[in-house]
Every structure is written in structure tokens, then in C-alpha cells.
A and B are shown apart, each in its own frame.
Chain A
Amino acid sequence: MIRAVSLLVILFLAAPNLLIIASSFSTTSSFGIPWDGLSLQWYANLFTRSTFGSGLLLSVGLAGLATLIGTAIGTAAAFAVVRYRFPGRGLINALVMGPLIVPEVVMGLSFLIMLNAMLLGITIVNLLLLHLVIVLPFVVRVMIGNLQRTDPDLEAAAQLLGATPARAVVHVTLPIIARGMTGAMLLAFVMSFHNFTATLFLVSSEATLPIAIYQYVRTESDPTVAALSSLLMVGMLGIVLLTSRLMGLDKVVR
């Protein structure tokens, strides 16, 4: 009984995705299950549209940078919050967590106003700043959890065995939290890559992939985006499976 229910729930959760994948092989220009045959024409069409290619490049580059910088800053912030007691510790915590509560529309708009006031005209830099704010709460959350489970005596022990404080971190703490960092990076990449609402306020001529998709479906209604979505799903699944194989995902996010 419980099995049947869980199966149903999983099916329900997966149904939209399955429908998208099915549509991507459609022979007609409408969404839906292709009863009358399969074709790859929408996949072919995908590669004639340059906005998707440049959007993908921008999104991957943006997500990659936001992930690297965000994980570095976020891990350092988590370190400070977990290991040290200092004035303003609560404030850091609140500031980093704030973006989780603020609606994304508000965040996008306020970024637009702020960046205009600062006359920062470079789209990629603006986007990077926004995406850092978006990924930081997730990185900090995951890393705080990880560091709280890491015994601070380990670093002390390393120091008493002759390691400088920096070497104690490099040789002991970092290897232990590496799994957690991978999880944080994965999460950060996905959050940045998928972001639409807040990003919409800052894109100009160059669009990220989600926005390129949005711009496409505003004028066209064929399953090209279904083909694109299917490829993205496969890509994401690949990344997750690879990470889980390499690091043990159950240990990364717990």
C-alpha cells in the first residue's frame, strides 16, 4: 500500500518532466505526447538558434563563477560564524540568510536600482553580483552544518602536532569538509543556473539560458524548448550522478 502510494507520488512529481521529454520528440509543432511517430526535428532546430548557444555559455559561465566565488566567500563566512564569537556575528548570519526571505522580484528590482545608482554598466559583473547574493545563503547554510559536525579539536590537535594554523586548515579541515563543499557547489551551481525572476531585471542584450527560453516561447510555440529542456535535464542528471558517484551524495547533503 505504502509502496503504491509512494510510486504514485513519484509519478506525479515526474509527470511534467516526462511530458516535456515526450513532447521533444514530437513530429508536430504542438506540445503533447507524440502518438503518431517520433522525430528529432526540434533537436535540430535547437542548433539553428544562436540565442540558446550564447545563453548556455553565459549561464554556465555565470553559474560557474558564482559557484566558485560564492563557495569561497560562503565557506569563509560559515567558518567565522561557527568557530568564532564576535560582535556582529548575528548580523552576518542575518545578512547572509536575508535573500532567502526576500521575494526574488524585489531582489531583482532593488539590484537594478542599486546598480543604476552605482553606474555599474557591465552586465556580466552585475549578474555575477546578483547571483552571488542568490547562492550565498545556500552555501553558508550547507557549510555551517558541515563545520558544526567537524570537531574543532581536530585543528587544535594538528597544531599541537606541529602544523601552523593555516596548514591545519589545509591538511585537516579542508579534506574533511570537501564533501560538504562539493554539495554546496552543486547546490550553488543549480540555483544560479536556474535563476530567472531576479536575473530578468538585469539582462540587457545578452540573455541567460532560462531567459532565452522565455524569450523564445513568447513568440514561438513549438517543442524546441522541450528538446532543450530534455537536454538540460540529462545534463543536470549527469552532474548529480557523477558527484554522487565520486563523493557519495548521501554524505554531501544531510
Chain B
Amino acid sequence: MTLANATEPGRVATHVDISDVVLRYGDITAVDRVSFEVRPGEIMALVGPSGCGKTSLLKSIAGLEPIDFGHISFDGNRIDAVAPHRRNVGMVFQNYALFPHKRVRENIAFGLRMHGIADPGGKRVADVLKLLHIGHLAEVWPDQLSGGQQQRVALARTLVLEPKVLLLDEPLSALDRQLRDDMRTELRMLAKTVGITTIIVTHDQDEAMAMADRVAVMRHGKLEQIGRPEDLYNAPETAFVAGFVGRINHFRAVCAGAEDEGVTARFPSGAELHLPFKGTLPAKGAALDILARSEAISVLAEGKGHITATVRDSHFMGSFVELLLDTEAGDPTRIACRPADDLPEPGQSCQLHLASPGVFAFAA
């Protein structure tokens, strides 16, 4: 099997099973009983704020951090005790970690050399150079490469070995904005072309949603929720996920009643709204956090909404108008509205009307 026929039938991608993994640094638990699977050929993104344990987990899959509990398996075989150089895991480091004393070609051939794999005529290296469109850079030193080129070399260096799993640590963070948007499409296409099981670590939820088939949101070492981007966006299970995946507006309300799998939220204006609720239902009178996507909020110049707001500022953004609102029931709110003549002006008051989908209630 070579990269040239990577997409042909017969290539079997690896199934990754992370089970109950715990990773500690002294007293700090970086990864706390995390379990999930990555299906063969799937692209999984691990997202979360810095310090959430996503990078530690990635390193433990690579074998660079020993785990304290649980196990990691590839296709049912435990690999958590296997030394990194025997795991056949490909990793692209955040800063690419190209060997500065080796030319591009030597960087890419390094893995073949270490594995004692003969490459007659340098064909494997040539194939992977071609796959990543960097054939013209073969004889260049790493410090002469741009960030994007370095990333391609790092990918080529790892893909030439046809690893079981591809790990990408913040793959786009070292690139400039323009290149970042292009590369995230290209990285996804590349992983899909090669058909390799891929795990991406990123702190940027846009990146995760654009590149991954499924996204695992981590927080304080624990897995908050895992699912397709649209599942996380449309049905967040925690307030953290709702706020982390996509822009969200935050309002306060109290529980006016709770019945099977739903609560009635009462806003300071007295208006009520019935919303689905996951988990233990709150008592009557308990504080609720109401999180609403911008597209679930309509701005009414008059009439009856759920929340009374005052326009602080409004920005015309082309395809939409962004209103900055002060409300009686929450933090300053930003809402994207379709441009219309009857939008309230700065200083005017208005009513906000919330309508599901895109409105979520959580216990405060």
C-alpha cells in the first residue's frame, strides 16, 4: 500500500478507542475519565479552552504522555503501553518541529530511514511531495519556508509513513488569517483523500466545526459533549457547550414551573416561555440561565416580547445589522438582524422575542 493508491478500496482506516483515560501531573488531573471512539476515517476535533486537557490527551494518544488509568486502543489492540516510536502515529506539532539541520527531502525521508524502509529512487518521498504540492521545495532548508510550507512539510513527513492515526495539534494557529481559511478546507480534503483517522486539537470552535466530522468539547479535563457540529449547535447539553460552540446571548430568568422534560421560564418583564430541559428539573423559583442564538431572537419595535431592551449601538455589517443591546435580563447582548427600515435606532427601546429552536434553558 502506498499513498498513490490510498483511496483505492482495500485500505482500512484505524478505529481509535479512548476508554476511561486519566492523566495526572502531580496533583493536577489534566484528563479526567474521558471516553470516546473515533471511527475509521473519521475526523474528530477536540476543542476547549486552554488547560482543558485536550493537548494532554492528544499527547497521550501519541505516547508522549503516559496515562495513569484507562486504555487507548487502535482496532481493538491496546497501545497505551507501546513506546511512541512503535505506535505508528503521525503527529503534526503546533510549531511543526521540522528538523532545522535537514533539508525538506531529508526531513521527509527521516521516518523511512528510522524504520529501515527502502525507498528505491525516492519514489515514496516524491509521491508525498506531490500529494502536498511541495515538489519544488525538496532541496530547501526549513528556515527558508513560510509557515504554510512548513506545515505541508510536516504533514508530508508524517504521511509518508502511512500512520494509523493522524494527530494535528492546533494545526492552523501559526498561520495568518487568509491562509488559515484555505488550509482548513485543504486539511480536511487531504485527510479524506488519504482516508486516515484524524484527531485535531484546537481552541477555535469555528476551526473544529469546519474541519471535523464530530467535535468533542472538553472542559476542566472532562468531556462535556461529543457530537456532530450541528448537534452541538442545536442541542447543547450544557451551558458551557452552548456558549462555546457558536455565538450565544445570555439572559436571566426564574423557573415558574417544571413539568415532564421542560421548564417555564419567567423573565423580569413577566413574560413566560416554555423550554425543554435536560437533567434534574429545577424547583419553582430557582434561577435559570436562558441562552439564545442570535437567529432565535426577533427584535420588535413595539408589541409584546419576552425581554425589554435598549439599543446602545448599531453597526451595519453588509449582509446583516449588528445591534448592541442593554437588557434588563442579562449581559449586554449582540444580535445580528436582517437589515430593515423599522429596526430601532440607538437610544430607542425595543422588545426581544425568543423562539425555539436556538433557545436553551439551564439551571443557573
Q: A159-B84, A160-B90, A162-B114 are in contact. Are A154 and B99 (CB under 8 A)?
A: yes
B100→A160 contact, CB < 8 A: no
**Assembly CA distance A157 to B90 (angstroms):** 9
Within 8 A of A (CB), among B81-105: 83-85, 87, 89-91, 93, 95, 97, 99-101
B interface footprint on A145-167 (CB within 8 Å = 1, 0 otherwise): 00000010110111111111101
Q: What distance in Å separates the Cβ of B61 from its nearest Cβ neighbour in chain A?
A: 11
**Chain A residues whose C-beta falls within 8 Å of the C-beta of B93 in the assembled complex:** 153, 156-157
**Assembly CA distance A87 to B146 (angstroms):** 41
A-B contact count (CB 8 A): 62
Q: Is A18 an interface residue (CB 8 A)?
A: no
B114→A172 contact, CB < 8 A: no
Residue of A nearest to B91 (CB): A160
Residue with the greatest number of chain B CB neighbours at <10 A, chosen from A151, A159, A165, A167: A159
Q: Is A171 an interface residue (CB 8 A)?
A: yes
**Chain A residues whose C-beta falls within 8 Å of the C-beta of B99 in the assembled complex:** 154, 157-158, 172, 176
A161→B114 contact, CB < 8 A: yes
**Assembly CA distance A165 to B83 (angstroms):** 9
A158→B110 contact, CB < 8 A: yes
**Assembly CA distance A165 to B111 (angstroms):** 14
**Chain A residues whose C-beta falls within 8 Å of the C-beta of B315 in the assembled complex:** none
A163→B95 contact, CB < 8 A: no
B115→A162 contact, CB < 8 A: yes
Main secondary structure of the interface of B (DSSP, over half): mixed
B95→A151 contact, CB < 8 A: yes
Neighbour of B114 across the interface among A154, A156, A158, CB < 8 A:
A158
**Assembly CA distance A113 to B297 (angstroms):** 86
**Chain A residues whose C-beta falls within 8 Å of the C-beta of B87 in the assembled complex:** 160
Q: A162-B85, A162-B161, A163-B85 are in contact. Are A157 and B97 (CB under 8 A)?
A: yes
**Chain B residues whose C-beta falls within 8 Å of the C-beta of A162 in the assembled complex:** 85, 111, 114-115, 161
Q: What distance in Å separates the Cβ of A163 from its nearest Cβ neighbour in chain B?
A: 5
Q: Is B64 an interface residue (CB 8 A)?
A: yes
Q: A153-B93, A156-B93, A162-B115 are in contact. Are A176 and B110 (CB under 8 A)?
A: no
Q: What distance in Å separates the Cβ of B95 from its nearest Cβ neighbour in chain A?
A: 7
Q: What distance in Å separates the Cβ of A192 from its nearest Cβ neighbour in chain B?
A: 29
**Chain B residues whose C-beta falls within 8 Å of the C-beta of A159 in the assembled complex:** 63-64, 83-85
A156→B84 contact, CB < 8 A: yes
**Chain A residues whose C-beta falls within 8 Å of the C-beta of B89 in the assembled complex:** 160
Give 8 nearest A-B pairs by CB, closest first.
A161-B111, A162-B114, A153-B97, A157-B97, A159-B84, A162-B115, A163-B114, A159-B85
- List residues of A whose CB falls within 8 A of some B CB: 151, 153-154, 156-165, 167-168, 171-172, 175-176
